[in-house]
Amino acid sequence: MGKDKLKKFAELSTLPNVFQNFTWPQVSLQNCKGETVDMKGKWRTEHFKNDAPLILELACGRGDYSLGMAKVFPNKNFIGMDIKGNRIWSGAKQAIEEELHYVAFIRTRIEELACYFEKGEIDEIWITFPDPFLKERRKRNRLTYTRFLNIYKEVLKPDGVVHLKTDSTELYEFTLEMLEENQCTIFVNNNDIYHKGYEEPLLDIKTKYEKMHLADGRTIKYLKFGFV
């Protein structure tokens, strides 16, 4: 591991908007003071100090979407989740520098999501350009596979929604199959948002990867679904 990465990892543990799990498969979180904390059901009251809606971005990378959404909706709370510490460092530092106090990050595995959020604690989930895991033997890792959908259903409010934005035709079509198989409700299904148009203002936010995909001429697909 390079010195730059080591420096980022060391600083990451000191940032007040970052919580990390160092003990997988145990599920405890540590805050910037090195204390073990239980945040389940307490994100609004103990961290954000408000009762505003809670939006979660999964596989957030550098947190481009969490940061972008926070600038559009400063009256909501946003949490980005990823396992890559050096990526989270970038987003967490930017949130602090821009005084986006309603943005936080969790470094952990997404499979553990329900260990950190109470049933019905989350209002919306965003999944933007996740790894499509194209090999058949790795389909269980796709973030719209049944085992993940069951987790989302548990932590979302009854009327909560999931947003998927992807350039992968394979993941898009796979997700449609999973949604039908799990009897999910599809609210929006758009297989080419920039040519067919869209009403969701947050789709204007473009991550680093989306800009690369658009430069390559790829089409961007969007699904909005829930568990009603």
Report the CATH number that the domain containing residue 47 is assigned in CATH. Answer: 3.40.50.150
Q: Tell me, yes or no, whether 129 lies in a domain.
A: yes
Average pLDDT value for residue range 21-26: 82
Q: Tell me, yes or no, whether 19 lies in a domain.
A: no
Give 35-42's long-range contacts (Cβ < 8 A, gap of 24+).
39/116, 40/115, 40/116, 40/117, 40/118, 40/121, 41/117, 41/118, 41/121
Residue 1 has pLDDT above 70, yes or no: no
Q: pLDDT tens, 39-60?
A: 999 999 999 999 999 999 999 9
pTM of the model: 0.95
Q: Tell me, yes or no, whether 105 lies in a domain.
A: yes
| Cα gap 191→32, rounded to integer Å | 41
167 or 24, which is more confident: 167
pLDDT score recorded for residue 78: 98
List residues with catalytic annotation: 131
Strands (E), 85-146: 103-107, 122-128
> Which residue in the block uniquely carries the two structure tokens 């969490």?
66
Q: pLDDT tens, 113-123?
A: 999 999 999 99
CA dihedral sign of residues 141, 143, 147, 148: positive
Q: Tell me, yes or no, whether 172 lies in a domain.
A: yes
If one counts the domains in the chain, the total is 1
Tokens coding 175: 């997700």
Q: Tell me, yes or no, whether 14 lies in a domain.
A: no
| Cα gap 191→222, rounded to integer Å | 6
Q: pLDDT tens, 187-205?
A: 999 999 999 999 888 999 9
Q: pLDDT tens, 126-155?
A: 999 999 999 999 999 999 999 999 999 999
Domain containing 116 equals 38-226
Angle at which helices 64-72 and 85-97 cross, to 10°: 20
Q: pLDDT tens, 148-164?
A: 999 999 999 999 999 99
Residue 222 banded pLDDT, cuts 50, 70, 90 = very high
Q: Tell me, yes or no, whether 24 lies in a domain.
A: no
Q: Tell me, yes or no, whether 144 lies in a domain.
A: yes
pLDDT score recorded for residue 170: 97
| Cα gap 112→24, rounded to integer Å | 9
pLDDT score recorded for residue 2: 63
Q: Tell me, yes or no, whether 20 lies in a domain.
A: no
pLDDT score recorded for residue 16: 97
pLDDT score recorded for residue 212: 87
